[in-house]
A and B are shown apart, each in its own frame.
Chain A
């Protein structure tokens, strides 16, 4: 019967319906299995990984209490993040286009290639500080992190696989049932658990330990006068969009880069169908720019000089151009002196978080096979 049932226990009843003589025993065992799993300390004897909100960050948007990060859940999520079985031909993992050494972007790729070398149309954004966002993709088409991974997995030009087939592949891999057991108290593998585990890994990809952070938190780092001036300038000239400690407002803007060389990409309008959102894209963070080139939604700017040049002299007028990019004199763009540009670049360099891209716990090497 094609009905949903929120009551998990009904699933167990269905086992006995299938004529398993030990259905009831299975039910009892499963109940016993769930009980110790409620106690995370017992399940995770090592120093457990847990979500710590950086003290200068706002509260997370992700519903932490609905999917509490545990050591075993995080480890499962990490294994899944680096699992090529998530793609149709077992060739690509999440980590293929979200490489840690590039702050979880695809280094050197304007757009990424999926299975069979099919090219996408947008630049792979960093898996970074996602706990503070409820707008994913450049157009914000996904608003709940737990549902995000469905898109790249099922997209024919990315991983091109069906979720149910991923689940079947994981069931057949002997390493996974015990991992699901450890993480969720039952070795049954479901897509929901898979997505929750992936979220646990992704929300732990926190970058909050750059020189800027260490300075801001009084942890010993010192910003030079030039860097401090750059910080002031970023707040003043860029802070309309790249705001707060995340250096993004997680909102959508038309920054005047105009139509790209690849395809006509209407950005946020694709989702809202509102002409007012034409060519608006989500503000990317200014953190870790050293590792995340190329820039812009289609990766058209290969270095920060190209980005600065865009904002100072190449902003194109259009109906939805962000008003912050219009000057009182009627021109477009942001007015910056060469010295100001230097100071801004110096400050942006303080937002690079070496500890983030070198964090062993987030790396593929930490996945135990």
Chain B
């Protein structure tokens, strides 16, 4: 076999010879780092999600009309897989994001210093991993700071832990005595001293087309759709009429198993 050094030399020569080409060849090993930005675009089926309390904006698969007043979720522990199978794990400290429909800036998280490469697949957690959920308070900064989170209602102080996904809205199917409101607050990292419900869900999605081609001069934008309908529609459909309020209960497991399928990568921009 050829020595590694010989192969590298060949690669360098090869890439130099291609330097004038506009597009990097698959055989080059790009160097440097770039950024990847995301756009988490919350939709309802084929419509854009718009927050309102009209009760009849959207319809779930059970035929129930509803509207959404709040839609927030955590994305964390992002991993990116290159075409050669190697995986880049975003450093833990900068891999927690809270996406809130009411806050446009929150929907466009960015990760910095991603090694150049052609990324074909993304893996992330919906929620906050159990390790971070039990870590020292000094390690809970930014969107994990309980002070910040308690204000946004994404933390249970009485049952220490983060709310991973919060969907609230109104529906004629929700009881009148509850003001036709529905509440889904889904959390649970598995428990500290006793085993409790675990709603941590991790998903892997292909990055379509040529993937995300990170270069020092290319900062790809990954456009991800999150379909609110999938909160209701999945392995165990959620009927608002049956469960208009789900927080700390076993029904939450069905809901997280539904919404873990709500994400699709729509497209990736790789323009320099």
**A75 interface residue per 8 A CB criterion:** no
State which residues 131-149 of B face A: CB under 8 Å: 134, 136-148
Find out whether the CB atom of B150 lies under 8 angstroms from the CB atom of A196. Answer: no
A146 to B136, CA, bound (A): 8
The residue from B139, B197, B249 contacting A6, defined by CB atoms under 8 A apart: B139
B126 near A: Cβ within 8 Å?
no
Cβ-based interface call for B94 (8 A) = yes
* Residue pair A4, B147 in contact (C-beta under 8 Å): no
Among B93, B160, B196, B248, the most chain A Cβ lie within 10 Å of the Cβ of: B160
B96 interface contact, C-beta 8 A:
yes
Q: Are B109 and A3 in contact (CB under 8 A)?
A: yes
Q: Does A272 contact B (CB under 8 A)?
A: yes
Choose among A7, A141, A162, A192 the residue that contacts B140 (Cβ–Cβ < 8 A). Answer: A192
Does B210 make an interface contact (CB < 8 A)?
no
With an 8 A cutoff between CB atoms, is B110 at the interface? yes
Out of A4, A141, A146, A154, which one reaches B96, CB within 8 Å? A4
Return the CB mask of B238-251 against A: 1 if under 8 Å, else 0: 00000000001110
Near A by CB (< 8 A), chain B positions 149-166 give 150-151, 155, 157-160
On whether A195 and B160 interact (CB within 8 A), knowing A2-B97, A2-B143, A167-B147, the answer reads no
Q: Indicate whether A215 reaches chain B with its CB closer than 8 angstroms.
A: no
Whether B196 and A273, one on each chain, are in contact in the complex, defined by CB atoms closer than 8 angstroms, is yes
**Could you tell me if A150 and B157 are in contact, using CB atoms closer than 8 angstroms?**
yes
* Residue interface bits B157-182, CB-to-A below 8 A is 1, else 0: 11110000000000000000000000
Q: Is the CB of A164 within 8 A of B148?
A: yes
User: Is B237 part of the binding interface, using a Cβ–Cβ cutoff of 8 Å?
Assistant: no
Q: Is the CB of A150 within 8 A of B150?
A: yes
Contact of B137 among A143, A144, A151 (CB under 8 A): A144
The answer to whether B93 touches A5 (Cβ under 8 A) is yes
A4 cross-chain contacts in B, Cβ below 8 A: 93-94, 96, 140-145
Chain A hits for B194, CB < 8 A: 140, 268, 271-272, 274, 277
Q: Is the Cβ of B150 less than 8 Å from the Cβ of A273?
A: no
| A1 adjacent to chain B (CB < 8 Å) | yes
Does any Cβ of A come within 8 Å of B26's Cβ?
no
Q: Chain A: how many interface residues by the 8 Å CB criterion? A: 39
The CA-CA distance from A135 to B193 in the complex, in Å, is 9
Taking the closest CB of chain B, its distance from the CB of A70, in whole angstroms, is 15
- Identify B136's interface contact among A66, A140, A270, A273, CB under 8 A: A66
Known: A2-B109, A3-B110, A273-B248. A191 touches B145 (CB 8 A): yes
Q: Across the interface, which residues of B come within 8 angstroms of A367, CB to CB?
A: none
Contact with A164, one of B138, B147, B159 (Cβ below 8 angstroms): B147
CB contacts (< 8 Å) of B142 on chain A: these are: 2-5
Contacts of A196 in B (CB 8 A): 137-138
Interface residues on chain B, size class: 35 or more
Q: Mark A124-146, 1 if CB is under 8 A from B, else 0.
A: 00000000001101001111101
B196 touches A63 (CB 8 A): no
CB proximity to B under 8 Å, residues A175-193: 190-192
Q: Is the CB of A3 within 8 A of B97?
A: yes
Tell whether B192 is near chain A: CB-to-CB under 8 Å: yes
A2 to B100, CA, bound (A): 10
- Chain A residues in 8 Å Cβ range of B248: 270, 273
- Least CB distance from A99 to B in Å reads 23
Assess whether B155 is in contact with A7, with CB atoms less than 8 Å apart: no
Q: Report if A314 contacts B (CB, 8 A).
A: no
A3 and B143 within 8 A (CB): yes
Of B109, B151, B155, B158, most A-chain CB atoms within 10 Å: B158
| A155 interface contact, C-beta 8 A | yes
Q: How far is B98's CA from A134's CA once the two chains are assembled, in angstroms?
A: 28
Give the residues in chain A near B139, CB-CB below 8 Å. 6
Using CB atoms, name the residue of chain A closest to B250: A273
Asked if A163 is an interface residue, CB under 8 A from chain B, the answer is yes
Task: Kindly provide the distance from the CB of A353 to the nearest chain B CB, expressed in whole angstroms.
Answer: 28
Least CB separation from A277: chain B residue? B194
Q: A277 — which chain B residues lie within 8 A by C-beta? A: 194
Convert B80-101 into 0s and 1s, putting 1 for each residue whose CB lies closer than 8 angstroms to a CB of A.
0000000000001110111010
- Considering the complex, which residues of chain A in the window 257-302 have a beta carbon less than 8 Å from any beta carbon of chain B? 268, 270-274, 277
Q: Are A163 and B160 in contact (CB under 8 A)?
A: no
Bound form: Cα–Cα A196–B158 in Å:
18
Q: Are B137 and A142 in contact (CB under 8 A)?
A: no
With A3-B94, A3-B142 known as contacts, the answer to whether A143 contacts B160 (CB < 8 A) is yes
Would you call A147 an interface residue if the criterion is a C-beta within 8 Å of the partner chain's C-beta atoms? yes
CB neighbours (8 Å) of B151 from chain A are 162-164
CA distance A150 to B155 in the complex (A): 10
B271 part of interface (Cβ distance < 8 Å): no
Could you give 11 example pairs across A and B, Cβ below 8 Å?
A2-B105, A2-B109, A142-B157, A151-B157, A155-B158, A163-B147, A167-B147, A191-B147, A192-B145, A271-B196, A274-B194
Q: Which residues of A contact B (CB under 8 A)?
A: 1-7, 63, 66, 134-135, 137, 140-144, 146-147, 150-151, 154-155, 162-164, 167, 190-192, 195-196, 268, 270-274, 277
